[in-house]
């Protein structure tokens, strides 16, 4: 990914933040105060290390979220805008992937079912390690630190009681530079991460 593409991704991220803020700006005094959420996810991801190579990894992530005021309640539920940050790590014998990312989250909770559907758009940094065989036939382990961004991230939560939230499924599509053991260089590759876990909400909740 070129520098201009990175700048475009960053500007798009800023635009998403601004749009979500404007969309949820109309509130009334009856809406609850902002709440926070902390949680842990088990994660499984499939990192494309080359055109033919793939690293299947297991790991986990820790996240924190801050909610701003939501929209007025309606017959389906309530929409809310928040900012989320997470640290994720996974690994296997073929390599590892660590990311720190943050960005906006827009969620809608249905009153009767207590299901919460959300979408995120995050940017951040990554640390990637790939183990393999180079062109000379030797075992090598290469690492790369770089920019990372998620161009699609959706999930489904189930609110249990007042404070607990169970993430039933979250899918993330990440793009980051990955070392190429054959050439010694690096290239941008996609990564799909699937996770589930539990979170704890604090603050007022109505």
Burial class (CB in 10 A: 0-12, 13-18, 19+), 81: buried
* Separation CA 194–CA 170 (nearest Å): 6
pTM recorded for the entire structure: 0.78
**Closest-CA residue to 131 (of 123, 143, 121, 122):** 143
- The helix or strand, by DSSP H or E, that contains position 155, with its residue range, turns out to be strand 139-160
The pLDDT-based confidence of 134 (bands split at 50, 70, 90) is: confident
Higher-pLDDT residue of 34 and 105 is 105
Higher-pLDDT residue of 37 and 204 is 37
pLDDT for the residue numbered 69: 66
Tell me the average pLDDT of the chain: 79
> Is residue 76 a contact partner of residue 111, using CB atoms and an 8 Å limit?
yes
- Decide if pLDDT at 99 tops 70: yes
- What is the rounded average pLDDT of the residues 134-142? 78
Question: Which pLDDT tens digit goes with each residue over 167-205?
Answer: 999 999 999 998 887 777 778 888 889 999 999 988 765
**Closest-CA residue to 10 (of 125, 114, 170, 110):** 125
- Decide if pLDDT at 8 tops 70: no
Q: How many CA atoms lie within 13 A of 17 on its CB side?
A: 13
Catalogue all structural domains in the chain, each as residue range(s) with its CATH number: 3-26+34-202 (2.40.160.20)
Cβ-based neighbours of 75, under 8 Å, separated by 6 or more: none
Longest dimension (CA), the chain: 68
């Amino acid at each position: 990914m070129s520098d201009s593409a990175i700048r475009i991704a960053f500007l798009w991220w800023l635009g998403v933040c601004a749009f979500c803020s404007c969309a949820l700006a109309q509130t009334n005094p009856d809406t609850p105060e902002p709440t926070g959420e902390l949680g842990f996810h088990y994660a499984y991801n499939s990192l494309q290390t080359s055109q033919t190579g793939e690293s299947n990894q297991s790991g986990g992530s820790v996240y924190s979220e801050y909610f701003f005021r939501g929209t007025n309640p309606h017959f389906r539920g309530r929409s809310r805008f928040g900012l989320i940050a997470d640290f994720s790590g996974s690994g296997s014998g073929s390599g590892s992937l660590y990311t720190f990312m943050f960005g906006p989250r827009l969620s809608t909770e249905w009153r009767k079912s207590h299901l919460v559907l959300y979408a995120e758009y995050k940017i951040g940094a990554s640390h990637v390690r790939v183990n393999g065989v180079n062109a000379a036939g030797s075992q090598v382990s290469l690492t790369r630190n770089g920019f990372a961004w998620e161009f699609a991230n959706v999930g489904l939560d189930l609110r249990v009681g007042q404070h607990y939230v169970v993430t039933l499924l979250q899918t993330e599509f990440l793009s980051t530079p990955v070392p190429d053991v054959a050439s010694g260089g690096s290239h941008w590759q996609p990564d799909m991460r699937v996770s589930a876990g539990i979170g704890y909400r604090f603050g007022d909740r109505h």
